[in-house]
Structures are given as C-alpha cells and as structure tokens.
Structure 1
Amino acid sequence: MVPPSRDSLPRRQVLLGLLAAPLTLAACSKDAKKAAAPSSSSTTTASAPAPSRPRVAGKGLPADLLAVMNTVYLGGKVPASGVVATALAKRKTGKKALTVTGTTGSWKGLAVASVVQGKDVTLLVKDGKWQVVGGWWPSLKVARPPFPTMRVLAIGSDARTAQPVEKCRGDALHIIGVDSKGVGGIVGIPRDSWVPLSSGGTAKVNAALVFGGVKGQVATVAKASGVPIDGYVIAGFKGFRGMVSAIGGIAYVADKALQSVDHFQIVHRGSNLLDAKHALAFARERKHLPNGDFGRSAHQGELIRAGAVMARKAGPARLAALLGKMSPHLATDLSPSEVLNLSASVFLGNPASTRNTVVAGAIGTRDQQSVVLLGPAANRTFADIRNGRLGA
C-alpha cells in the first residue's frame, strides 16, 4: 500500500544572475570630415544596462532545474524524449518572467521533481541531468502526452522485522489500474484464493511469494487473473509502518467503528487519522468483520484510496517530496519516470470516487485447508480491470 507523505523538504534560496551588457552611444557631428577625428563638440553618453532577460524563478528549487523550466516556458530545447519531447515541441512559449513552485525528492537513488505553474504540472527526473518525463501544460496549449495504461500489483508481505519481505506470504494483493483519465480502479484478491502457482502446483495465492519471490507472485496473479501486470510495489510490516509514520498518518473516514482482536479501538465512526499501529491493524483485522478475508481486502483497498485522496489534497507541487518519503520503505520494479506519471494520475480525476472492489469467491476446502474458490464472478471482475478502469 502506497500512502503519500505530507512532510516538507528543506528549502534553499536560489539566486539567478541577470545578464546585462553596457551599450555606449557615440554622438557625431554633422560634418563628415570632423567625424574622422575627435573634437570638442563630440559628446559621449554614460553606460546604461540593457533590460534583463526574463527568467523562471522558484524558491527552494535548484538552479539546474530552473534552467530546464526556463527552456520549457521561455524557449529553447527542452531536455525530453519520446512523446514528451513531441508534445513540448508544439508549445507556445512566452516572454515574461515566471515564478514556479515545487519540490524535489529521491526515488531509488535518482532525484525527482514536480513543478507547478498555475494549472501546469512538470515532472522531471535527474539521471546526470534533469529531464522532463511527463506533465501537462494548459498555459502552453499542451495536453498531457500519451501515457500507457498500466496495471500495478500492490503486495503487502506479512514479513515481520528482520524477515525477508520477498520470501514471506503475500497477504495483501491489489491490482491498481491507471489509464489516461487517472486511477481507474482497485481490485483486491483474497489471500486464500486457490490458484495454480507459477512455480508449480496449486496453493493459496499468498504462497506464491514464498515459493517464487516477487516475480513468482506477479506471474501467479497475472496467470490466475488474466490481467497483464506492468509493475509492482511491495512492503512488509516494517515498511508499511515506516510509510505511515513518514507521512504523519492516514486520514480515513469510517462508516462504522472497528475493534481489533486485541480489544483496542482501531477506528471510530467518522474521521480518523490512523497512525502506524492503527493503520496496520485496520489492514489486518478480519475476525471482527462479517465477511472475514473479503472485508479485510476491501479495507486494504480503502487505505490505498485514502492515500490517493491525501496526495490530491496536498497538490502536485508536493508530489516529489511525498515520493521521496515513501521510497525507503518499499521495493518496486517501476522506474522513477513511471512512478511520477502513475502518481500524478491522482490529479487527473477524483480518487475519492475510484471504485474499490474484491473479487468474489466461494469458501471451500483443499488439502485440508479453508480456501477461496474463484469462479465466473471473479473472472468478470478481472476482465473489467484489464483495460485499467472498472466499469469502462
């Protein structure tokens, strides 16, 4: 699960030099002969600075990043590639100085940035030099460049502290779809679903992580669901608690109160700010739910959606900072460019209305275990999310 951070990054003032060249004006006499030599009638005006060139400024943003923003808004070759470069090549640049806002962060060793000017959003990654990797620029008459539909598997491992996250059971499994309109849906898979494993044999779907690692878990879900999985994020108990603490808790509105098996109040009816302990308990509790594991999976999806709502409220300028806070606490095969663009999708629609569902199944017994047997209803839900959007 991927909640965002509201923490701010340190700010530093960036001073940009203004270039000016002195212009000397010489007066000459009307007499062409006298113009050949100086005379007492010749006059010279004092040096005057030329008007400064307009620049893009932004408090707390590094100079080399602002230099790229200068090319975006005031002209020049923008460091970008593919569909982003093609889109920006058609922009309508201006001639006036601008002020932008934004933050920087680090995602798996590379610097990332999100910069805002009015309703414009620019997403950048620094791999040696800053490069624009996405965004949208209505002030420049440029729409969001085409971004492919993606289906990401969010994996919650039941690894405790010191246990290998990618070799324990995958107890929380959610396919998150993202298309051109934003986040298109969240589909939960009960951990006891009885499916063929990519490593061989048939078992509960959460066992795929134990026997095949994260690649085995992804392959198992893809095969069982028929949904192509384009990437994953995974965290264990420690990572989940770390993310929740880093962002100062998860704001969650509960329609009813819930107690844990340890007899403490997890949530109250109404608005809650869940700290790491309560958020983890909410994601794990099932014994006090009438539909058990199905209800728990639904709650996990609700936490994912609540994180998206918080990110939207924080605004796109905070996006890079939020990602920087989350990065140390999870593992993923998504590139910084993909993570930026996927995360920015929460600003394209209203994540509060994102559909969150859990595939249906019947309770059965296999190998003397209580399991969930997926059937036609589950297959219909999987087919629905294949294009990245439920109900499309």
Structure 2
Amino acid sequence: MLGLGLVAVLAFGGSAAGLAAVRLNGNVERVDDISHLVAAPSASATEPPPPGDSWAGQPVRFVVLGSDDRTGVNADIGGADEGMRSDTTMIVQVSADRTRVEVVSIPRDSYVRIPACHLDRDPEGPMSRPHSAKFNAAFALGADTGDVGLAAACTLSTIAENTGLSMTEFLLVDFAGFQGMVDAIGGVRVCVPRAIRDTEGNTELDLAAGWHDLVGQQALDYVRARYVTGSDNSDTQRIPRQQKFVGAMSRKILSAEVLTSPRSVYGFLDAATRSLTASDQLGAPDNLVGLALSLRELQPSAVTFATVPNGTSGKNLVWTPDADLVWQRLQLDLPLVDPATPVVPGDGAAAGTGEEADAVTGTPDGGAVAPDAGAGAPDDGTRQTPPDAGTGAEPPVPAPEVTTQSAVDPDDPMCG
C-alpha cells in the first residue's frame, strides 16, 4: 500500500536535498573563492551516476502487505492480541514502459486454495497441508512460525496458486509504520462525501461529511474501520476507502507541499525505512532508487486501483470469472480497463460484492472458487508489453467488468 509512496519520495529526494542546501546557505560564513587553488578530482573519485532501473524494459510486480501485528508498540496502537494476520493485500504492477501503475486489492475473506507452504527455511523441511480457506489465513500460517518471511512466502504462493501470477517481491508495513509515514508528510487530506462512524467502537473513527486532514491514529482508524455507518460491514466495503487514502497519499507526496519541504521528505524516508520489511531484491537501495527514478514522469491519473471481481457462494466470498481476465491482463502488461472505459468512483462496494456469483465450482475439499481462477501458466513478472498494446488493435484479452478508481479522487468535487 505504501510502497508507491516510498518510491515516489525516493524519486524526488534529490531535489529536496538541493532545496535544503539553499535554505541553509545563509547560515554559513563564506570566504573568497578558492576554486583555482584546488586540484581537480581524479576520475576514480568522481561521484557515481544515479543507479539505473534494474528492471528496465520489464513490468515490475510486487505485493504490498499491511500487517495487523499486535505486539510491542503495535499493541498500544491497535490493542494487544495474539498472532499476526494481513488485513490488506495489494498486487502492484508497474508497466514496462513506466507510464502506468495497476493496484489490485485482494479481499482478506476471499475463499481460495492455499497450497502447501514451508514451515521453516529448509527447502526440504516440513510443509503445511494444502487446503481451502480465507485468503489471509495464508499469511497467518507462515506468521505462526514467528518468521515474517515465511508469512510472505505463503501469501505469494497462494497468489500464484489462484492467479497464475508468479512473484517473489513484497513490502510489509505494520500499524506503527503506517502512522509514522502519514505523520512524516504532515497528514493526508481526504474528502469524506458522507459522514462515517465506527458503529462497533473498535476504532475512534467518527468523521462528518467534508474535507479532513487525517494524521496518526485517525488516519489508521480511517483505513482499518470495518463496521461503519452506511456499509454492510464487509472487508470489500472497506477496500475502496483504503484505496482512496493511498491515492490521496500519493498525490500529497507528489505535490509541491512535500517535495519542497526537506523535513517532510526526509521524515517520510526515515519512517519508511524504520517500518518497512521488504524482500531482498525490492528492498535493495539501488534497485528501489533506480525504479523510483524511472517513475518521475508518472501521473496520478495513471495509477489505477481495483478490487478482484467477486461475489458470494453460500457464505463464502469467491472470485467471479472476470477475476481471471484481471490476472491475464496483468500477465500481458495490459491496462486493467481499456482507455475508453470510464473510471468509476470507488467509495462504495467493489464490483461484484454482495451478489451471488454467476458460476463457481467446488474444490475437492468442498471449497468454492471461481472457475478457471488463475488459468494459464504462471509467469515471472517480466513479460514485455505486447506489440499491439495501446495501438488501437483489439487486445488479446478482453477487459474485465471491474470497478476502478485512479489516484485522482472522483469524490473530491462533492466536498467543494
């Protein structure tokens, strides 16, 4: 969720550093120019160029996980509890040409097939039993070992099992990390088109309609609260609110308000590096900075959020056949929706939520999943954009029926 924000700040951190130097210039006593007295540096001593994009020419795909770990400082924020689960899962894909970012949320209650997962770091060691369960059980299965890497690995394996998308890169952020990053940029301004209140008292969320500058605990309550007025209390109704917040955060980070404030930029970077757990390749500084620099021209309107198309089968939340089209479009590095498809405001339920799924099939152990979910061989996340992509030719995979919203919030005009 916050991976996009970190990438954006890293991309512009250099310009903020330059502005900081200008600001401090007046505090320094200066002497006459001595440049003619100083020898030129040797070639080996010159500053190296900025890192390049390690994935240049390839789509970059990773998973952002929001953890509800309730130990240590997180217990003070969210309340003490045992175990660790992932309340938020977003698949993030940066297009090969670096002009688009697709973010697909997976509802935590999705009923999916969880494959055998490693229970320790030994490749020949014990593994769990394959079974069907709610999606976030995969993270908990690995987390119960006390190894967050195994939690991420089981989540990534479950995504591969049900979508055909192969990934090994991830970012994980907890409650404290989320608050720290929001506070570091001075809060996030969001439009609340209708009053919203936590009806169960699990959080202190209580916002009137209108604009709100959310910081710290209030920002966390806004994205966490599930039982709120005007909703069916499902995770799928919470997801569009989370996407709205991430979009607003992305716009704030890309704005002059943050980019011209070294304190905000450096504060965000400090909070991010303290609170993020990342996979080996994505977390390598040169790789992350190189990717960030490749996204300097990215526009907020080119960041598209969606939720896996879903419905119900009995008491289970399952993915509909359109989910398969989402995964195929990502495999081919195509936009989720065709350019002519209007972006739909996402303040309500995600597409397909709450309705009986048209067609589901039973798994051997009685679970229900959408037919052919994840059809096609897994790819490695490095496929090139097809030659006819964006040229007006008929796309090889039709666009799914899916509700989307961009980082440009369509609700903003409702708040004046």
- Once superposed, what is the RMSD of the aligned Cα atoms? 3.9
**Counterpart selection for 2:313 from 334, 353, 364:** 364
Code of the residue aligned with 1:190 in structure 2: it is: P
In structure 2, which of residues 179, 189, 194 is the aligned counterpart of residue 251 of structure 1?
189
Matched residue SS, 1:133: coil
Per-residue CA deviation, residues 207-240 of structure 1 (Å, 9 max, x unaligned), is: 1111131111122123222223252111222222
Q: Distance in 2 between matches of 1:227 and 1:244?
A: 31
The structure 1 residue matched to 2:274, chosen from 328, 335, 342, is 328
* Equivalent position of 1:178 in the other structure: 94
Instruction: Note the C-alpha offset of 1:274.
Output: 1.0
Q: Is the 8 A contact 1:178 1:389 kept in 2?
A: no
Q: What is the 5 A alignment of 1:197-276?
A: 197-198=114-115, 199=117, 200-212=130-142, 213-261=151-199, 262=201, 264-276=204-216
- 1-side partners of 2:187 and 2:261: how far apart? 20
Aligned-partner residue type, residue 210 of structure 1: A
Figure out how many residues of one structure are paired with residues of the other and give that number. Answer: 282
Q: Unpaired runs of 5+ in structure 2?
A: 76-80, 118-129, 143-150, 339-416
CA distance 1:357–1:260, shift in 2 (3 Å):
same
Larger Rg: 1
TM-score (norm 2): 0.57
Cα separation, 2, equivalents of 1:154 and 1:388? 20
Structure 2 SS opposite 1:355: strand
Pair 344,372 (structure 1): closer, same or farther in 2 beyond 3 Å: farther
Counterpart contact for 1:177–1:388, Cα < 8 Å: no
Give the drift of 1:286: 2.6
Name the structure with the higher strand share: 1
Residues 229 and 266 of structure 1: is their aligned pair in 2 closer, same or farther, counting only changes over 3 Å?
farther
1:311 aligns to what?
253
Does residue 195 of structure 2 align to residue 278 of structure 1? no
| TM-score normalised by structure 1 residue count | 0.61
Is 1:161 the counterpart of 2:71 in the alignment? Answer: yes
Conserved? CA contact 1:176–1:183, under 8 Å: no
Shift of the alpha carbon at 1:328?
0.4
Distance 2:87 2:137 in 1: 9
Aligned partners of 2:259 and 2:293: how far apart in 1?
Answer: 10
Give the Cα separation in 1 of the matches to 2:294 and 2:160.
23
Aligned to 1:101: none
**How far apart are 1:377 and its partner, in Å?**
1.6
Map Cα deviations across residues 295-324 of structure 1 (whole Å, 9 max, x no partner).
Answer: 212222222222221121134996973333
Q: Is the 8 A contact 1:158 1:236 kept in 2?
A: yes
What does 1:1-392 correspond to in 2, within 5 Å?
1-2=1-2, 3=5, 18-20=34-36, 132-134=50-52, 146-162=56-72, 168-179=84-95, 180-198=97-115, 199=117, 200-212=130-142, 213-261=151-199, 262=201, 264-288=204-228, 289-290=230-231, 292-313=234-255, 314-315=258-259, 321=266, 322-333=268-279, 334=282, 335-344=284-293, 347-365=296-314, 370-386=315-331, 387=333, 389-391=335-337
Question: Relative to structure 2, which stretch is displaced further, 194-203 or 311-320?
Answer: 311-320
